[in-house]
Amino acid sequence: MSFVEYGDTIKDGDTAIVFLGHESMFPVKVQHGTVTQTKYGVIRHSTDLIGKKYGSKVTCSKGGWVFILHPTPELWTMNLPHRTQILYSTDISIITMMLELKPGSIVCESGTGSGSLSHALIRTVAPTGHLYTVEFHQQRAEKAREEFREHGVEHLVTVTNQDVCKNGFGVSNIADAVFLDIPSPWEAIGHAKSALKAEGGRICSFSPCIEQVQRTCLAMEEYGFTEINTLEILLRVYNVRTISLQIPDLGKAAEDNSSTGFDSSSPSHQGSSCANLQQGTVQFKSGVPLREVVGHTGYLTFATKS
């Protein structure tokens, strides 16, 4: 296993995802002789995990069971230990596309934070690209290095512990794309420009507040970036539910069934909804929005150096 290459079976040293159920999972480092506690009981790595296929159902000691999944950057994002606020897959997906990342791309990123975006970037630029990521917090930089090593992607990434606003990315004229997620991105635009290849590239800056975006846009213009474009992406998730609505009793049912407007024998109702006149209900499938959703993560400002 590695985060950039699928493997079939679980091996000693792998990072696997234990899937307990809807929205309930956690990562586990597979090690001979180790056990992991879950609410369904104990998982013994040597016997329950190692050698099994990814995607297998594993029965725990109390008889309950879980699925063991192959890690992906998306699963990692949902399960990683937070050291900072992180970027989620919805923002990551548009960042990746708008920065035009692909195998072979050279990317600069700052800050590294908890490495949520980093893993996704590495996945996309592998096997021939590289990520240069800059984190000014020494402990976080060290922790990120450790994770990249554990996940088998250290050859694709260089972590530098310095202040990107003062010292830049530590590379110049090399990058196809730059990503900034720092409190004052406008102070790093000059460094971003010199990190990008002479012939040009793309830049993205993520900021929660519009004032940050304004200063960043001005700085981008000052440094000659073009195609400056700010956008926001939001995810709407729907629960799939079967809903029953009662048919109101208008006193008509006794007289004429068809007048309710729900003729259960008509083919138009056999697909998505069905009426049960005896019970006085109509059933249908609906995608129901969650009661509370993420309303704002950050503004994404993209631009081109040409």
Partner 1 sequence: GARIREGDCAVLKRDEVFKAVSVLRRRKIIFEKQWFYLDNAIGHIYGTTFEVTSGGSLQPKQEVEETPTETKEAGTDNRNIVDDGKSQKLTHDDIKALKDKGIKGQEIVQQLIENSTTFRDKTEFAQDKYIKKKKRKYEAVITIVKPSTRILSTMYYAREPGKINHLRYDTLAQMLTLGNIHAGNKTIVMETCAGLVLGAVMERMGGYGSIIQMYPGGGPVRAATSCFGFPKAFFDNLHEFPLSKVQSLLSGTFTTETLPAEPEENALGEEESNGLGEERQISLQETEEEPATEAPMEVNPAEEQDTMDIHAEDVEFKENREKENRENVREKQMKQWERRKKLKEAAALLRERNADGLIVASKFHPTPLLLSLLEFVAPSRPFVVYCQYKEPLLECYTKLRERGGVINLKLSESWLRNYQVLPDRSHPKLTMSGGGGYLLSGITVLLEQGSSDCSTSEALQGEEPSSKRCKLQDLPC
Q: Contact with partner 1 (CB under 8 A): which of 31, 61, 79, 93?
A: 93
- Rounded to a whole number of angstroms, the minimum distance from the CB of residue 161 to partner 1 is 28
* C-alpha dihedral, 164 to 170 to 173 to 178, nearest 10°: -40
The residue behind tokens 């993209």 is 302
Nearest distance in Å: CB 212, partner 1:
11
CB contact set of 223 (below 8 Å; sequence gap of 6+): 189, 190, 193
Residue 135 annotated as part of some ligand binding site: yes
Is 130 among the residues that bind partner 1 (CB under 8 A)?
Answer: no
Least separation in angstroms between residue 53's CB and partner 1 is 6
In sequence order, which residues have a C-beta less than 8 Å from that of residue 168 and are 6 or more positions away? 134, 188, 191, 194, 195
- Per CB under 8 A, 139 contacts partner 1: no
Task: Report in angstroms the alpha-carbon separations of 131 from 174, 262, 267.
Answer: 11, 60, 57
114 labeled binding residue:
yes
| Nearest Cα to Cα of residue 164 among 185, 150, 193, 149 | 185
| CB within 8 Å of 56: residues ≥ 6 apart | 67, 68
Is 7 or 81 the residue whose CB approaches partner 1 more closely? 7
Taking CB under 8 A as the binding criterion, the range among 47-55, 107-115, 149-157, 167-175 that sits at the site for partner 1 is 47-55
Q: How far is the CB of 48 from partner 1 (least distance, A)?
A: 14
User: Mapping DSSP to helix (H, G, I), strand (E, B) and coil, where does residue 144 land?
Assistant: helix
Number of residues that bind partner 1 (CB under 8 A): 81
CB 151 within 8 A of CB 75: no
Site string for partner 1, 198-227 (x = CB under 8 A): xxx---------x--xx--xx---------
Q: HSE-up of 205 (CA within 13 Å, CB side)?
A: 31
Tokens of 95: 């960042």
Q: How far apart are CA 60 and CA 41, in angstroms?
A: 5
Query: Which residues within the stretch 227-246 sit at the binding site for partner 1 (CB under 8 A)?
Result: 228-244, 246
Report if residue 124 touches partner 1, rule: CB under 8 A: yes
Q: Which stretch binds partner 1 (CB under 8 A): 90-98, 140-148, 153-161, 170-178?
A: 90-98
Whichever of 21 and 167 has its CB closer to partner 1, that residue is 21
Q: Does 281 bind partner 1 (CB under 8 A)?
A: yes
- Six token digits for residue 304: 């081109």
Q: C-beta of 93: minimal distance to partner 1 in Å?
A: 4
- Nearer to partner 1 by C-beta: 22 or 82? 22
If binding is defined by CB under 8 A, does position 37 make contact with partner 1? no
Q: Which residues are annotated as a binding site for S-adenosyl-L-methionine?
A: 114-117, 135, 163, 181
